[in-house]
Structure 1
Amino acid sequence: MAFDNIKLEKGMYATEKSFSQVLEELDPSENYRGTPFEGLDAFGRQLKRFDIKVSGPNSDCIQKFFSTTQSAALFHEYVARAVRQGIEQANLLPQIVATTTRIKGMDYRTITSVPSEEDKSLKVVEEGATIPQTEVKTQENLVKLHKRGRMLVASYEAIKFQRIDLFTVTLRQIGAYIAQQQFKDAVDVLINGDGNDNPIETIPIGSTSLRYEDLLSLVNALDPYELNTIIAPPEMMVEMLKLEEFKNPQTGINFQGTGKMGHPLGANFIKSRAVDPDLIIGLDKRCSLEMIVASDVTVDYDKLIDRQLERAAITTIAGFAKIFPDASKALGC
């Protein structure tokens, strides 16, 4: 089926699949290899079909989406994509999440394994002897899922003459807010646990101010896990940068050239106010945290006729669970 013959309707959103997935099934991108439309997905080809320019200095006004009934069906997907772009641009979760699980429903129990020191040692098994076991079981309590989002309220008259690329900036910022809140949810689980009696273990700082020896204590406390990620509030980040061990000329050159801070510990540093001002979190990103997604970015519309307002609820549902509780530790007063 050629992309310009597809009948677009809002009912395409009322399925378990996304609007883009429905379009791809009707109009597979693989059919356009070697054509001028190669590189566009099914949604991009629909924008091309209705000559809707969504970016650049010559982007169209929002009213272009509503020039026909069929082109109006594209507006929902445009909003969702712009919000997802904002989430991706501001998203710090890939730096601390080991794996992402997508579920259908609101009830989910993760699995856990708490190996003893004997389990971790993996002793030699003699011939005919029983192989030691590591128990993997489901957690007692369900993972808490949080619905995060924003209600976008605007009159059609206020936005119809606005350029689409300008409106995209607003939508991306909404996505950034969602990403920041989800990161805060993840940090909260790291510190307070996921409801299964697994709060983080806090190692006290040895004096009134942070010392390099304290950071080494954090490294040792995580053994046998690897300290590859540190989350710290701005106050603690400043304290760490003041340490003599961090005042390496090469570190300064790398920071000025790449914007990334190198340091003796070799871990990835994340600055965030999601962490308490007197706390530093160290973790092994490979096995600390699981993200559970019950719903990706969803856009629900409601028109208030009496006030001539368009309301769009932009939401996502996700939660977090600890995989190996001992793979994250805190350093604090």
Structure 2
Amino acid sequence: MSFDTLKLDKGLYTSSKGFTKALEEVDPSENYKGTELEGLDAYERQLKRYNIKVSGPNSDTVSKFFQSSNSATLFPEYVSRAVKLGLNNNILEDIVATTTIVDSLDYRSIACEDTEEATVDSTVINEGSYIPETAIKTKDTLTKLYKHGKSITASYEALKNQRLDVFTIALKQIGTYISNCDMHNAVDLLKSSSKKISFGTADKVSYEDFLTMWKALAPYEMNTVIAENDKLSQILQISEFKDANAGQNFHGTGKLVTPLGAKLVFPLTNLIPDNIIALDKRYALERVQCGDIVTDFDKLIDRQLEMATVTCISGYNRIMDDASVIMR
């Protein structure tokens, strides 16, 4: 069946696989290798079918989606993808080791624990001697998942003549809001469960404090540091931070790096105003997401934007408990 003869309906959104994957099953991308449509997924081929341009200076208006009942079915997926642009453009990737997508609200992660023998500093296992163990087991508790999202309160009449590239910016802001809520959950977990250490001087962050965090994380690597407000300002004033290499990196890329090479992350939420969290992002956190971005597809297809919601359900687990510390 060709992409330009498909019958689109709301049933594609009820699939547990999501709209695009359900559409891919009836219109596989592999059938278009060697054609001008190669590189497009099933949804993008439908946009081409109805000549809907969602970005650029010549983008269409919102009303272009509603030229037929078939093309109107594409609108909720456009909303989801635009929200994802804001959701993915955040600092979560700097603190998360892996993301697990689940299809149920009941999810148990794993816990990794070294036996007492595994902590012995030994580089050689002699013949017949004990081999240190790492115990991997399912956690006793379920992962706490939280729903975050927003309602769209504009009417279709107010939006129908708006360009899609402008509307995309508004939807990206919803994604950014969801990601900030998500970051709140991640930092809150790190704050409550990380090993606690103390500042050398209560009212000022020093280079020695970074060395203390670096040593406290061993044998893990301190590659990410989370700080806010006053503490971030104090870090930027550390003399070692102003060395040539750190300065060139900041001026060249806009990325802040500590004197020990850890990336500085500053969340928008005011969760740790007087603390600093240091972690090895490779081992500290698992992000768990239940399904995909969820939209009220019925309402969006029926142009009831003022009643439609966009939500995402996610939560966090500690992977290795010793892979983060909090200085307070």
The normalised TM-score by structure 2 is 0.93
Task: Confirm whether residue 131 of structure 1 aligns to residue 131 of structure 2.
Answer: yes
Match status 1:281 vs 2:277: yes
Pick one of 192, 200, 213 that aligns with 1:206: 200
Question: What is residue 327 of structure 1 aligned with on the other side?
Answer: 323
Q: Partners of 2:258 and 2:97 in 1: how far apart?
A: 23
Match for residue 160 of structure 1?
A: 160
Give ranges in structure 2 of 5+ residues lacking alignment: none
Structure 1 window deviating more from structure 2 (248-257 vs 52-61): it is 248-257
Matches within 5 A, 1:1-333: 1-89=1-89, 91-116=90-115, 118-121=117-120, 123=122, 124-192=124-192, 199-208=193-202, 209-274=204-269, 275-301=271-297, 303=299, 310-332=306-328
Deviates more, 1:142-151 or 1:34-43: 34-43
- CA–CA distance in 1 between the matches of 2:237 and 2:95? 25
Q: Is the 8 A contact 1:302 1:310 kept in 2?
A: no
Structure 1 residues 181-207: Cα deviation after superposition (integer angstroms, max 9, x where no partner): 111111111111xxxxxx222211111
Contact kept, 8 Å, 1:20 with 1:42, in 2: the verdict is yes
* Identical residues among aligned pairs (%): 49
Kindly state the Cα deviation for residue 257 of structure 1 after the two structures are TM-superposed: 1.4
Following the alignment from structure 1 to structure 2, what is the Cα–Cα distance between the partners of residues 122 and 12?
A: 56
- Letter paired with 2:287: M
- Give distance in 2, aligned partners of 1:222 and 1:280: 13
AA of the residue aligned to 1:64? K
- Closer, same or farther in 2 for the Cα pair 1:138/1:303, shift >3 Å? closer
Alpha-carbon offset, residue 130 of structure 1: 4.0
C-alpha distance in structure 1 between counterparts of 2:55 and 2:135, whole Å: 53
Does the Cα contact within 8 Å between 2:52 and 2:60 map onto a contact in 1? yes
Whichever residue aligns with residue 24 of structure 1, its letter is: E
Contact 2:108 2:141 (C-alpha < 8 Å) held by counterparts: yes
Bigger drift between 147-156 and 77-86 goes to 147-156
**Secondary structure of residue in 1 paired with 2:60:** coil
What letter is aligned with 1:202? K
- Deviations, residues 267-298 of structure 1 (Å, cap 9, x unaligned): 11111243411100000111111111112111
Cα RMSD between the aligned structures?
1.9
Structure 1: where are the runs of 5+ without partners?
A: 193-198
Structure 2 CA distance for aligned equivalents of residues 290 and 104 of structure 1: 16
- Contact 1:234/1:273 (CA < 8 Å) preserved in 2? no
Deviations 1:125-183, CA, capped at 9 Å, x for gaps = 33334433322222222111001111112222111111111111111110111111111
Separation of aligned partners in 2, 1:153 and 1:273: 25
| Alpha-carbon shift at residue 301 of structure 1 (Å) | 4.2
Count of residues in correspondence between the two structures: 323
> Any idea what the Cα deviations from partners look like across 1:91-134, whole Å, max 9, x if unmatched?
21121111222222111221112325631336443333443332
Deviations 1:214-260 (A, max 9, x none): 11011111111111110111321110111111121332232111112
Change (3 A) 1:45 1:121: same
Q: Would the alpha carbon gap of residues 262 and 93 (structure 1) be closer, same or farther in structure 2, given more than 3 Å must change?
A: closer
User: Secondary structure, in 3 states, of the residue corresponding to 2:88?
Assistant: helix
3-state DSSP of counterpart to 1:52? coil
**How far, CA to CA, are the matches of 1:102 and 1:8 in structure 2?**
26
2: CA distance, partners of 1:219 / 1:118:
24
**2:39 partner SS:** coil
| Shift >4 Å, 4+ stretches | 301-304
Q: Give the partner amino acid of 1:226.
A: E
TM-score calculated relative to the size of structure 1: 0.91
